[in-house]
Amino acid sequence: MVVPEEPTPARVVTAAAHGGTEAQLRAWPRRPARLATAVVEDLVDRIVGGELAVGSALPTEPVLCEMFGVSRTVVREAVKSLEGMRLVRAQQGLGTRVRSVEDWDLLSPVVLSASVRHDAERSILEDLISVRRALESQMAAEASRSATEAQLGHIEETLSKLLAEDHDTARFFRADLAFHDAIMEVSGNRFGRAVIRTVNTEAFRSLRYIGEPTLEDMRQSNREHQEIFKRLRARQDAKAAQAMDQHIIESWLKRRPQVLPHR
Ligand SMILES: [Zn+2]
């Protein structure tokens, strides 16, 4: 594969897609984006998995080029991405070193998905459940206060689909996400919704997160979904929040393979 070492001149793109307004956007010079992405994913996995330990130096540029069979441009691009994810820091005279775990940008999807993958103690999954409990309960309360009749109708539709999917796990998971997402959308909390969506997208790739629910588990879960909707429709914001919180923690306790000390 030929990779351009010289950046091509920036192109100017006209975007008229949004709201009919024409904006002139300066396009990035063409970059070997996909190649760099593959290198990034590999390096993120080695860092998060501990093969490249905290404090250790990344291999030098020529070594990385050799390792991945890519050009310096690609390696530099990849290392820049790692810096952006706060996984490594370039320091003069010290090379590029792996930063401490506390610095890592867990909301970067690549870092999050690697963290879930390598989360042997399930501490990331536990944290993730805490975040879902806090944010989704609050958003359920907001939704119950502010939902219009049409919005309640939309949530009810997603609930009906979910109730019809209690015999197929893959379809159930999709319908479950859609129901939770409809409530978050109605809450109007766009940032909270964005956080939960990022978290869920990566977590749902992990079998340890989704477990293997039985038919009875799915039916129990759906009774909880109905309770959440009942409280929403009755405009009982505190009870809607409580029903959401219980649903998230209880379904987690059920699918979590072993009980960990309470955090
Ligand atoms: Zn659910």
CATH of the domain at 192: 1.20.120.530
Structural domain containing residue 72: 31-103
Query: Considering the chain, what is the average pLDDT of its residues?
Result: 86
Task: State the distance from the centre of ligand 1 to the C-alpha of 33, rounded, in angstroms.
Answer: 36
Answer whether residue 24 is part of any domain. no
- According to the model, what pLDDT value does residue 19 have? 47
Answer whether residue 25 is part of any domain. no
Answer whether residue 165 is part of any domain. yes
Do both 129 and 97 map to the same domain?
A: no
Task: State the distance from the centre of ligand 1 to the C-alpha of 180, rounded, in angstroms.
Answer: 6
Between vectors from CA 263 to CA 202 and to CA 223, what angle results, nearest 5°? 60
Tokens of residue 131, six digits = 């975040």
- Cα dihedral: 69, 74, 76, 82 (round 10): -90
Answer whether residue 65 is part of any domain. yes
Tokens of residue 30, six digits = 């063409």
What span, in angstroms and rounded, lies between the C-alpha atoms of 255 and 5? Answer: 50
Task: State the distance from the centre of ligand 1 to the C-alpha of 159, rounded, in angstroms.
Answer: 10
Last residue of a domain, one of 103, 132, 147: 103
Task: State the distance from the centre of ligand 1 to the C-alpha of 247, rounded, in angstroms.
Answer: 7
Task: State the distance from the centre of ligand 1 to the C-alpha of 48, rounded, in angstroms.
Answer: 29
CATH of the domain at 82: 1.10.10.10
Task: State the distance from the centre of ligand 1 to the C-alpha of 221, rounded, in angstroms.
Answer: 6
Number of domains present in the structure of the chain: 2
CB-CB neighbours of 81 under 10 Å: 20
Arithmetic mean of pLDDT, 220-247: 97
- According to the model, what pLDDT value does residue 167 have? 84
pLDDT tens-digit series, residues 29-88: 555 568 889 999 999 999 999 999 999 999 999 999 999 999 999 999 999 999 999 999
